[in-house]
């Protein structure tokens, strides 16, 4: 709480609405009470200014030990941009899982490069069976170089060796002991409402050519790589006074969000399927009316 006390003077520079909201929660020093306040005032917090979000995130961290915005939606940066913050639940947006066996499927893509010439590109879909017997996807459509970045080298070597055989298209590896692999994580998130009239109505994120259109203020499940896109989409906030030249005072995300819980790939795929269906239906109706 010392940091909050030392920062009280900064409140004088804020608008009255922001002061009122910040003063409400900085005085709450009990985790349960702060959680109740957050549930009752979530919309006000998400709709608040850059400074409100930053103060609430710091206070939430001080009381609960965890970040509220994941990653921090805004962070005062008086001396330039803050260092890149990865998802708090994992390194590089991955989560650790233990597998007793690994199953792989080889994909061969034929790409024309010149008239009469075709280049073959090999990739792999990787699945893992957990101790419970449940099989989950680890990665899809990746090459052995990407694989080597997060999988045990002995498994990568075996897949590489077998994958070079033209007649072999899939295989199963059962190591002597279960192996831990950091797989892409999925999280249920809530994107904040429009901050002003210039903000787009929906959140649009594109990864590897795949574009998702996401409604704000509605819970949605996303894989870590889409969250990384949202985290890296920032713009600087400037200030200029008669006494000082123009300088950056903060970096703000275009699409701030709050992590609600860890989710699963099945939930993501189910939501995506329904979203694709609604999009196709809307386009069909639009064509009929045009």
What are 3-40's pLDDT values in tens digits? Answer: 444 445 555 555 677 788 888 888 888 887 888 888 77
Q: What is the pLDDT of residue 100?
A: 95
The per-residue pLDDT for 174 is 95
Q: What is the residue whose two structure tokens read 């906030």?
A: 237
- Find where tokens 């917090």 sit: 45
Q: How confident is the model at residue 90 (pLDDT cuts 50, 70, 90)?
A: very low
The confidence band for 79, taking pLDDT boundaries of 50, 70 and 90, is very low
pLDDT for the residue numbered 81 = 32
Residue 92 has a pLDDT of 59
Give the C-alpha separation, 95 to 89, whole Å. Answer: 7
φ/ψ region of 281 (left if φ > 0, alpha if ψ in -120 to 50, else beta) reads alpha
Residue 59: its pLDDT value, please? 85
pLDDT at 242 over 80: no
Least confident of 51-55, 86-90, 145-149, 273-277: 86-90
Mean pLDDT value across residues 134-162: 90
User: In the numeric block, which tokens belong to residue 187?
Assistant: 């999280």
Provide the percentage of residues in the chain whose pLDDT is more than 70: 84
User: What is the chain's Cα-based Rg?
Assistant: 24
Least confident of 3-12, 39-48, 98-107, 146-155: 3-12
Return the minimum-mean-pLDDT range out of 16-25, 45-54, 86-95, 218-227.
Answer: 86-95
Strands 210-214 and 203-207: antiparallel
pLDDT, position 85: 35
Judged against a pLDDT cut of 60, whether residue 73 lies above it is answered with no
The lowest-confidence range among 25-34, 135-144, 174-183 is 25-34
- Dist. CA 137–CA 130, nearest whole Å: 11
Mean pLDDT of 125-150: 90
Mean pLDDT on 120-127: 92
Distance CA 245, CA 249 (A): 12
pLDDT at 89 over 60: no
Report CA dihedral (64, 65, 70, 73) to the nearest 10 degrees. 80
Alpha carbon distance, N-terminus to C-terminus of the chain: 60
Query: What's the average model confidence in pLDDT over 202-218?
Result: 87
At residue 15, the pLDDT reads 66
Q: Is 91 exposed, middle or buried (0-12, 13-18, 19+ CB in 10 A)?
A: exposed
| 178 and 99 Cβ atoms separated by less than 8 Å | yes
As a three-state string, the secondary structure of 169-223 is CEEEECCCCCEEEEEECEEEEEECCCCCCCCCCCEEEEECCEEEEECCCCEEEEE
Range in 97-101, 136-140, 200-204, 232-236 the model is least confident about: 232-236
β-pairing, 179-184 vs 219-223, is: unpaired
């Amino acid at each position: 709480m010392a940091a909050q006390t030392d920062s009280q003077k900064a409140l004088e520079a804020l608008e009255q609405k922001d002061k009122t909201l910040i003063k409400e929660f900085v005085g709450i020093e009990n985790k349960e009470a702060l959680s109740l306040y957050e549930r009752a005032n979530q919309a006000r917090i998400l709709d608040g200014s850059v400074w409100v979000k930053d103060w609430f995130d710091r206070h939430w961290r001080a009381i609960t030990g965890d970040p509220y915005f994941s990653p921090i939606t805004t962070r005062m940066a008086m001396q330039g941009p803050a260092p890149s913050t990865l998802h708090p639940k994992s390194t590089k947006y991955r989560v650790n899982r233990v597998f007793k066996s690994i199953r792989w499927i080889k994909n061969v893509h034929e790409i024309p490069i010149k008239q009469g010439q075709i280049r073959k590109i090999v990739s792999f879909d990787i699945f893992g069976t957990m101790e419970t017997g449940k099989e989950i996807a680890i990665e899809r459509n990746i090459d052995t170089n990407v694989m080597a970045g997060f999988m045990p080298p002995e498994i990568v070597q075996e897949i590489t060796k077998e994958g070079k055989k033209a007649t072999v298209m899939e295989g199963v590896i059962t190591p002597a002991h279960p192996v831990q692999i950091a797989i892409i994580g999925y999280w249920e998130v809530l994107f904040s409402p429009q901050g002003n009239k210039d903000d787009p109505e929906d959140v649009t994120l594109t990864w590897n050519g795949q574009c998702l259109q996401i409604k704000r203020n509605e819970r949605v499940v996303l894989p870590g790589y889409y969250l990384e896109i949202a985290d890296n989409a920032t713009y600087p906030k400037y200030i200029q006074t008669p006494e000082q030249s123009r300088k950056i005072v903060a970096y703000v995300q275009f699409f701030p969000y709050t992590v609600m819980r860890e989710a699963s790939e099945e939930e993501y795929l189910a939501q995506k399927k329904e979203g694709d269906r609604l999009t196709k239906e809307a386009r069909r109706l639009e064509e009929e009316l045009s």
